[in-house]
Structure 1
Amino acid sequence: MIKEECKSLLYRIRPQGPVFKFYPHRATLNYYIGCSHGCKYCYACYTMKNIGLEPEDFAKEICLKSNAIEVLNKELGKKAWKAYSGITHLGTIQDPYQPIELELGYTRKVLEIFLENGIPTTILTKSPLIERDIDILKEMATRNLVHVDFSIAYLNEMLRSILEPGTQPFEERFRTLEKLRDNGISTGIFINPVIPVYTGKSLEKIIARAKDCGVKYVLMGFIHLIGSRYKEMRGLINSINPSLNYDKYFNFSGRRVVMEKNARMEITKYTNQLSVKYGVPFITTEFHQYKTGDYNFGVFTHRHPLIFDYVDLLARNKNKYLGLDDAIEFANGFNCEKSYFSSLKWYWNSEKMFNDMEHLNIQRRVENDNVQYMLAD
């Protein structure tokens, strides 16, 4: 383990990034760099270059920001963070419950601070170790301050052993979801990344178990890897399924390897069908016509408005053009800090506000330098 001191810990998410439109959190923090789960599809391995190491060291060397708790307490006392009223996310570039957490307990210390300061928190993990902190999570849940997502994208244990070699079996994740449910803690399942063929074969069982576990929703995401990382993953998959032509499911034309659009749409449609069948809300960051749930991430009634909230605003004023002033008045009904409104203005005046909603007849016009939108029949 490497120990380094940090000058700052809390990180504000880039205002014009996709998180503005689709995710409720506006801040993250990472006190571990590296993750011993060793997931072969992880995009975060390149963060190791920030500490002078190579991507292949991601699962071998864990760097601890040793003064993280002290820095966090200081930052929360500063004016800029006192004014922050959004959700903070744990689990962006590492699993906050990877094995080293059992020894060091930094995630537990962070949660204690968040509980004391009333900071709403989302957690993404693959680890049953989170059960250790049920006492804190349960208290946070009584105040609608926490939501936990588990990553489960397929159920083939042989594949898990080579793609996620440091993780626990899927059945243990489902059992932990049940324990969290029994303690009143809001949960979801993150079907990410979709692994072509394997996710499709497992999807109905995942949705059925999601129903049994009482999750608030399932959320789907897709692979985006640089070429070398994709080739490594493909080689591992072919080691247990040599006849599979994996390249046919992917697009290699851009900077990153991504699933083909038709393949993404087909599994999204299938998930929609299973969502309806089992009564489990489904959300996705593309092909929004197939979503069946709301993007409130379980429990957060006081959050920033997301793109779907603005679609609902247009729907309530159908065939009527609305301007930025209408959007700001609407956003004032949410729990937004001042910086949110500058991001809203940027999106509203650009052509990116509703560019993900091709399935809707949203029309845009500019009148007296005022950008307006209308949802038409």
Structure 2
Amino acid sequence: MMLNDRLLSDAKFYGKLIGVLLDKEDTISGKIKGTTIERRVMLLKADPEEYPDYLIRVTRGVIPCLSVLTPNMELVGIIESNNPDYVITSLKDMLNSFETKKIRPVKIPEYVPEPQEPSEASIFDTVNKVIDQQKADFRVIELIKTISKVERRYSTVEKFLSPMDEVASYVLGRGELGGGFAIYEAVKIIKGDPSKLEEYVVDGKVFRSSKRENWGLLIDEAIAGYAFLVRYLREGKDEYLEQAVRIRDFVKRELETEKGFRDTVPKDPLTSITYLEPLANAEVAVFLSALWQATGDEETKKMAMKALGVASVRSDFLGINARIAHALLRLNHGILTSTPGNYGDVRVMLNKGVNCSFKQGDKCAEKLEEFSGLGLED
């Protein structure tokens, strides 16, 4: 990892600050290199897509961004601009103010919210937000496709879907999706296209990208685990279920805390700052609820409920709301099947211990259509 012990030791020894530059380009770092600023700041450049765990701790989400830290992981200041000259001028001013004690660095805080009770009202809230034309990510689309298919009163809601990004557009059949990231390969599986996801996973550890620089991010673990379960549902091969179980074991061992799940495995002083990110917890709740259906393991269900507690802190956000709804549909209204297939219904999961074609609660049926409707009250 970039912020390693040697770098921090050198920064302390030479009395330097650390500049973390989150940027896709080299323009700003190239302008700083070779200047007198290098005598005062150790500059590290990080790809924001590769290191979202850095992004979430030291920026406000604006890219490009230069965040200046002390070796003790205190935040001196943040500069947001794609103008190299402005960044350099602002950085000089910041350094002068810090050295003359006009700026007091602040400790980067942990984020450990108090869990809240998840509610099935999230299902209706998701539908309403889609009708109001809020931008939908791929999980929102996945959920709405199920709701519009099985709930007659919402049969037309799918026409209101407005994709948020290229991943959502891809799921709707609009355009292609590039490679290079585990999340993209997982979404390809969910859509039903060829994928190289196995190349990103080693004994439950998911690498962020083909660069293999970063790994163990909760969001990646969750989406990859869910993708293997989708393959298990469609093809019935135990190897896919075994992959999902290994990912669950990794998440429990490396990321679980008392109140929820960390966004990343601690690898350095910055990522060691505990952050229970609600969207990532919502995503892992989707994965764990599906795995519980496949295995009946009660510890997995408890993990899903723990993740939902953190996710519910930000249930006002459509993407999180949809994931809460998805997980609760599986946990409370899930349908188990003994027959592999491509069902296109987020309530369904393969469980080879089921003694009938489809089962919801105590009811068995020969056809999935016999479970039309979500069985919910407004």
TM-score, normalising length from structure 1? Answer: 0.25
In terms of fraction of residues, the more strand-rich structure is 1
TM-score, normalising length from structure 2? Answer: 0.25
In terms of fraction of residues, the more helix-rich structure is 2
- Which structure has the larger Rg? 2
